[in-house]
Structure 1
Amino acid sequence: MNLTAAGRARMTLAAVIVAQALLIIDITIVTVGLPQVQRDLGGSLAGVQWIVAAYALTLAACTQTAGTLSDRLGRRLIYVLGITVFTVASVLCGLAPSVAFLDVARGLQGVGAAMVMANSLPLIATAYEGQKRNMAIAIFGTVLQVAGAIAPVLGGLLVTLDWRWMFLINVPIGVVAFVIALGFMPAYRPDSARSGRIDWSGAALLMLSLGLLNFALIRGEDQGWGSAATLLQLAGGVVLLTVFLAVEKRVTAPIIDLSLFRIPTFTAINVIAFVSRLITIGGAVYFIFYFQAALGMSPMESGLLLVPVFVAQIAGGIGVAKLQARITASQIIVAGYVVKGLSAVWMAQTFESGAGAWSLVLPMAFWGLGGGVAGVPILSTSMNVVAKDKAGMASGTIMSMFMIGAGVGSAGLGVVFKERIGEVVIADSALPEGSRQAVADAAAQVDLERLKAATPPGFEVVVQQTMEKAISSGTSLVTLTTAALSVISVVVAVFFIRERDIVAAKAKNATAGTARESATDDRGGAG
């Protein structure tokens, strides 16, 4: 089929959206089916938890390297390879005879997912220019938000059939993405001076360091944040990362070109990406916990209460994409985080008062709107501020910051949440003084079995009411913390996102494009 350049661009966007939506769904969907997996395959609780952790670890560890490989070896090549690895790994997951086998297959899935995820934004940036690129990225981001919203529901439906369908459903979708990519996606040809040159030692150091740091974030709560194991993992990750940065300064084809961080806008957008996921992922976890533990809502009711968030995010993202030609990225990001911060303060007051669920709909909708408004320019600016031949590298960096931010948010805000719960319980004079500390310790860990054992006879209702009050207070404090963190994004956007950096990158890309065309003409004339 012969397609115009515009047609190929649309097919590229379709392939990217299909694959990326698949990855987003896969991150969430599996959590729903863990109990069924354990009942069917057996295995320890730790082994079952690794079904989620193995995917998260390899995804986080490999994303940056995968992005740089796409710059050096070709975007379509890495994308198609990633889809292939992910789809084959999905088959292995669906046929897994044991939890250990499934853990390994999930790790392989994460490697394929990293190759696809790091390539998504560069493929869009290569296919589109100017405002069309901004609109394409807005559509891309909006579909991902929808995918994230439907993932728990889809997971619940598939688990009712058989947990294996959580993985096997990926196969036909992966095949469709593979066919579209191979048949219609234009081949990106890297600069011959950089093609094939890979800093493998740097890649290994980076993957090890990010893997170790993410392992510490995933396992920190179970191990204890102050335990020797967690501290050694964090220290080891930092040491390896320091060695990696020293290596990158000396090689000619680095995995991360550190000169990119001398561009204020590039550094700023990565800081904002980190904070955005810290706020969004870290905060949303405790919203759901509040709905179910303090308000007594079912998982389905909790999901429905989050619908206004997703609807507002989608509306904000699509609406703001049309404004990017007239309003600067900095102004849009500032507006988004001002709305997100103020709505977080509003929600915090509502949580603290123990008000009903419906009183949360409006502030949560504004919270989602702020995220949708800010999200689109974060993604588009990350591509608009760098040369096209480094788009994969830049995408790998910002995707890594998203994932690290999510991990730090879940861990850090979890500490805030649990500390507040313990404080509220220990201060409750309605509990007997002799058992108050034991109840507070169990409550602070949100360990329901331990809490039940620590509850004095006849005080079950009192403990339940105290826990509901403590969870409300903890969620309120977490939300206020996200409001304070929103201020960081506002300050960074105001002072460090500069339109002249974007203009400079656009001029550089135009010059490079002219040079490539001249080189092609010269070769054609010589032939």
Structure 2
Amino acid sequence: MTDTAIPDGIKQGPGEVSPQAAIRTTVLLCAAAFMTMLDLFIVNVAFESIGETYSGASLAGLSWVLNAYIVVYAACLIPAGSLSDRYGRKQGFLVGLGLFTVASIGCAAAPTLEVLIVSRVAQAAGAAILTPASLGLILSVLPVSRRAGAVKIWATSSSFAGALGPVVGGLLAESSWRWAFLLNLPIGVIAYLMAVRLIPKGAPASHTRVPDAVGAVAIAVAIGALSLGLVRAEDWGWGSAQMLSTAVIVVGALAVLIHRVRTHPAPVVSPRLFRVPSFTVANVTTLIFTGAFGAVFLGVSLWLETAADYGPLRAGLALVPGPLAVPVFATLTQRWAKNVPPRFVVSAGLAIFALGSLLLATQGGAHYATDILPGWIVIGVGIGIAMPTLIGTATADLAPAEAATGSAVVNTARQAGYALGVAGLVAILGSQDRLHTGDTFQNGWIFVTALVLVSAATALRIRPQQSHRTEDE
């Protein structure tokens, strides 16, 4: 039986794949999105190895291997999703996947740190096109009965990327960190060929306006300039002309963004969304929380490879327990806390996260089993409890027509927070020479704890309308 054959009694809608091809299409779309997130976590473990390749590179310079990807991804996510809706999701998926794969080759072959960073920018652009297109295809080409399950698989892929990324990255970095990027080549080529064959050509495109490119650039400039100022603060000095210029750029970019949002017919972010209180508060909470997450993930990775002197593979394996706890406790929380108001679930999870980072701050030694592992597991438990409810609540009060755009804004907030958290940690840690003692990281753990406590407080202000009946006002 071929992929196009339809069993008796089952109808195939226009632009949909057949029920027989649905499983393969789901695997394809989720695997491609998973690959883009895997690269983010792989780089955390390969950080030290990359620094050894480019001798003389500072910690601030190396941080752009992470942040260049995150900043561009955050800025391009919303307009890329709109463009895929307008010109065709299959086309968007193929363009994004192709660009990501080719850019991965550029990363693997990069002769200098600057070339690596430029290649990471191209990777991020491909990932930003691919990610919303893959979700849009799940919602348009799979049979209706398969869509809900496929969306859940797609949504949890980042958790599994967080668990597998350190191990895969560590294993590959034992030979050379370049293999972490070359891994994308066979996967990308196979996925591209499968997509050409499996995804229907007739996947419908919408007639939405072309999104505001200037607004997207303003987001990238604001996040990028703020990150630059944080990571270079120690070298430049907080009161230097360079820092003042950076501050002016950040303020100017934000002013341009606000103006474009108010006046452009197709703004990069619709101002209507922020008139929904639960959406606004949830995004602020997400921004702060993911800042803490980005900082602690990089911080623990660096601690393992410097203070503990672990090799990449051993460091990758040591990172697994925290991310592994996330999907476990996410599943348990969704089952056990159905009738608990979302704000209490999120705030409790973030408080547990803060407890974990406080455990890191109070140890200060160089022994993984006693100084890092307990707090790292507690952090994973807290994230697992808080994150699914926080992300789900963010768009709960939006109209159905705004849900996709709202989700893109939430993802942008997540990536922006991650980038700023990484930059903040790098500013606190300073130079690489100071990383080889456990005491150096204590200020970083305190920084993480402060961020999480602030996010736990803002989470208490999240009150989606449908949950009001369960809360005493």
- What do residues 243-287 of structure 1 show as CA deviations (whole Å, max 9, x unaligned)? 222122223222211101111222122122212211212123334
Task: Give 1:401 deviation, angstroms.
Answer: 1.1
| Partner of residue 498, structure 1 | 465
Q: Provide the C-alpha distance between the structure 2 equivalents of 1:7 and 1:328, rounded to a whole number of angstroms.
A: 40
1:406 to 1:472, Cα distance in 2 relative to 1, 3 A? closer
1:317 aligns with 2:286: no
Partner of residue 376, structure 2: 364
3-state SS of paired residue (1:399): helix
Counterpart of 2:450 in structure 1: which amino acid?
T
CA contact (8 A) 2:172 2:179 kept: yes
Q: 2:159 aligns with which of 126, 131, 145?
A: 145
The residue that corresponds to 2:35 in the other structure is 22
Q: Which residue of 1 aligns with 2:416?
A: 404
Judging changes above 3 Å, is the alpha-carbon distance between structure 1 residues 403 and 153 closer, same or farther for their aligned structure 2 residues? Answer: same
The answer on whether the counterparts of 2:358 and 2:446 sit within 8 Å (CA) in structure 1 is no
Separation in structure 2 between the aligned mates of residue 386 and residue 491 of structure 1, nearest angstrom: 19
Whole-angstrom distance in 1 between the partners of 2:237 and 2:22:
49
1: CA distance between counterparts of 2:228 and 2:203? 34
**Aligned counterpart in structure 1 of residue 275 of structure 2, from 239, 262, 277:** 262
**One-letter amino acid matched to 1:490:** A
Q: Do structure 1's residue 336 and structure 2's residue 349 form an aligned pair?
A: yes
In the alignment, what sits opposite 1:433? none
Aligned counterpart in structure 1 of residue 253 of structure 2, from 228, 231, 240: 240
The answer to whether the 8 A contact 2:33-2:157 is kept is no
Aligned pair partner of 2:121 in 102, 107, 125: 107
Q: Matched residues in 2 for 1:331 and 1:7: separation?
A: 43
Give the total of aligned pairs. Answer: 452
* 1:116 match: 130
Q: Is the 8 A contact 2:171 2:313 kept in 1?
A: no
Q: What root-mean-square deviation, in Å, do the aligned CA atoms of Structure 1 and Structure 2 show?
A: 4.1
Structure 1 unaligned spans of 5+: 419-444, 452-463, 502-527
For structure 2, list consecutive stretches of 5 or more residues without a partner in the other structure.
7-11, 469-473
Structure 1 pair 413/26, CA: closer, same or farther in 2 (3 Å)? closer
Normalising by structure 1, report the TM-score. 0.71
SS of corresponding position for 2:263: coil
Can you list the C-alpha shifts for 1:446-484, whole angstroms capped at 9, x where unaligned?
Answer: 5538x9xxxxxxxxxxxx9xx65x447535534542452
Once residues 38 and 403 of structure 1 are traced to their aligned partners in structure 2, the CA distance between those partners, rounded to angstroms, is: 23
Q: Of the candidates 443, 461, 468, which is equivalent to residue 474 of structure 1? A: 443
Partner of 1:189: 204
Alignment-derived partner of residue 9 in structure 2: none
Partner of residue 64, structure 1: 78
More helix by share: 1
Q: In the alignment, is residue 229 of structure 1 matched against residue 242 of structure 2?
A: yes
For the residue of structure 2 that corresponds to 1:243, the secondary structure is helix
2:295 aligns with: 282
State how far apart, in whole Å, the 1-side matches of 2:302 and 2:176 are: 26
The residue type equivalent to 2:298 in the other structure is V
Report percent identity of matched pairs: 27
- The match for 1:375 is 387
Matching residue's letter, 1:498: Q
What is residue 511 of structure 1 aligned with on the other side?
none
AA aligned to 1:398 is: V
- In structure 2, distance between residues paired with 1:38 and 1:448: 12
